Amino acid sequence: MSEYKSFATDAIHSGHHPNESDPSIVPPITMSSTYQLAEVGIDDIFTGPVIYSRLGNPTRDSLEKCIAKLENAKYGFAFASGMSAITACFQSFLQSGDHVVCSEDMYGSTTSYLQKLEVQFNVPVSPVDFKKVEDVTDAITEKTKLVYFEPITNPLIGVVDVPAVVKAVREKNKDALVIVDNTFLSPWNMRPIDYGVDIVLHSATKYINGHSDTICGLVSTNKIDLARKMKNAQLYLGGVPSPFDCFLVSRGIKTLDLRMERHAKNALKVAEWLEIHPCVEKVIYPGLKSHPQFELLKKISRTPSGMVTFTIKGGRSEAERFLKSLKIISHGVSLGGYESLAQHPFTTTHGAVSKEQKDRIGITENMIRVSIGLEAVHDIIEDIDYALKKATNNNKA
C-alpha cells in the first residue's frame, strides 16, 4: 500500500493557494461562462489560459488539481455525474469492433450502458468475475481495448485483487487500457493508480462529496495521451459540472480523511453485530474475518468503506417490511453520504439487470445493501434491530 502520510493536508490545501491577487482561503465560485482573452488565437486547449467554462473554469480547475493530487495522478477531470465520467471514458477510447472485458457485478446503469454499446456500436462485451484473475486473463483477446471493473463489487461487496488484475492484463495484451471505478472506496482508502491502472474514476456524488447534495464525476490519470482525450470529452461531449457543484465537492473533500475513518469504524461495528443477529442469514463486509477476501482487502486498501450487504431471513416481503420499518436510516438509493441509507438491490440499483444474471452472481430478493453513515453507531444498530424484528415478526430476537 502506498504512503498516505499527508492525505489530510493534501485534501485541505491542494488545488487552491491564497495569493496577492486572490487572497480567499476558500476557492471562490467563479460563475463566468467566458473570459477576456489576452491574445488573438488559441494555441492549445490543454495548456492554454482559461477561455470558456465548458473547457475550463477556475472553481473546476481547483477541484481537478485536488483530486489528481489525492489519486497520486498528474491530471484530474470533473464531469457532470459519475455516469458522464464513465460514458466519456467509453466514448473516448473505443471504436466499433473493439472488445471490452468488464466485471459482471458492478453498478447496474454501467452494465445497462455497456449492453447498449454492444448492440448499438458493435462493441462486444465480456462480463467476468474479477475476483478470479484467471477468468479475466481468459477473457482478454488481441481485440480487447478496455478492461473495466470496480475493486469493491456492487452489491455483493467482493474484493478484486487490483495489482494482480493489472499484471494479468499487461501480460496478455499490453495495449488494453485498465479503468477502475473506485466509487465504493475513495482515494483515502486505495489509490488504483499506484497499482498501475490507466484511469481511476469516481461517482463523486458518493464518498468524495459525502454530503448527498450534488451529482458529480471525477477522472484521474497519469498519462498525457489519455488526459488529452478526457479534455476533449469535456469539450465535445460537454458533460461538465457547474462551478457551484465543483465548490460543493471541493468542500466535501476537505473532510474525506475524517469521514472515511468513521464510516469504516461504524460499518465494522454494525457488521459484527449483524453477524450474530438471529433474523439475519448472511453478512458481507470485507472487514469481517468471515469475508473470503478479508486478507486481500487489508493488503490493498487502508480500510473497507461503509458499505455492508446482508440477507434477511425470509424473502422479498421480509426485505420490504425491513425497509419500511426503519426510522433513522432512510430507504433510498445512493451511498457515501454522512447519513445512513438502505435499499433493495434486486429491484432498485440492479432492477435493470436480467434475472438470469442476478441468479448467476447471487443478487437475491432478501438482500439489503446499507451505506453506513456517520450517526452514533448505537442509534444505527437500534434502528436496524427494530426493523429486523418488525420484518420477521421476531420480537424475542
Exactly one of 10, 181, 194, 257 is catalytic; name it: 181
Q: State which H helix or E strand residue 389 sits in.
A: helix 377-392
User: What character string, x for contact with ligand PLP (CB under 6 A) and - otherwise, covers 264-303?
Assistant: ----------------------------------------
Strand order in the sheet with 99-103: 75-79, 217-221, 199-203, 177-181, 144-149, 99-103, 125-128
Exactly one of 35, 52, 54, 74 is catalytic; name it: 54
54 is catalytic: yes
Crossing angle of helices 82-93 and 224-236, rounded to 10°: 110
Q: Counting contacts by CB under 6 A, is residue 257 touching ligand PLP?
A: no
Query: CA end-to-end span of the chain, whole Å?
Result: 41
148 is catalytic: no
181 is catalytic: yes
* Shortest distance (Å) from residue 116 CB to ligand PLP: 15
Nearer to ligand PLP by C-beta: 59 or 205?
205
Contact call for residues 179 and 89 (beta carbons, < 8 A) = yes
Nearer to ligand PLP by C-beta: 112 or 325?
112
Q: Cα 19–20–21 angle (5° rounding)?
A: 95
Least Cα distance to 142 among 124, 160, 130, 127 occurs for 124
Q: Counting contacts by CB under 6 A, is residue 130 touching ligand PLP?
A: no
Within positions 79 to 118, which residues make up the interface with ligand PLP, using CB under 6 A? Answer: 81-83, 107
> Cα separation of 309 and 368, whole Å?
6
206 is catalytic: yes
* Shortest distance (Å) from residue 148 CB to ligand PLP: 11
Q: Binding ligand PLP by CB under 6 A: which of 59, 111, 153, 154? A: 154
Q: Counting contacts by CB under 6 A, is residue 214 touching ligand PLP?
A: no
Residue 31 has which C-alpha cell? 460563475
Nearer to ligand PLP by C-beta: 75 or 149?
149
Q: Counting contacts by CB under 6 A, is residue 181 touching ligand PLP?
A: yes
Helix, strand counts (H, E) of the chain: 13, 12
Q: Which residues are catalytic?
A: 54, 107, 181, 206
Residues interacting with ligand PLP, by CB under 6 A? 81-83, 107, 150, 154, 181, 183-184, 203, 205, 215, 217, 334
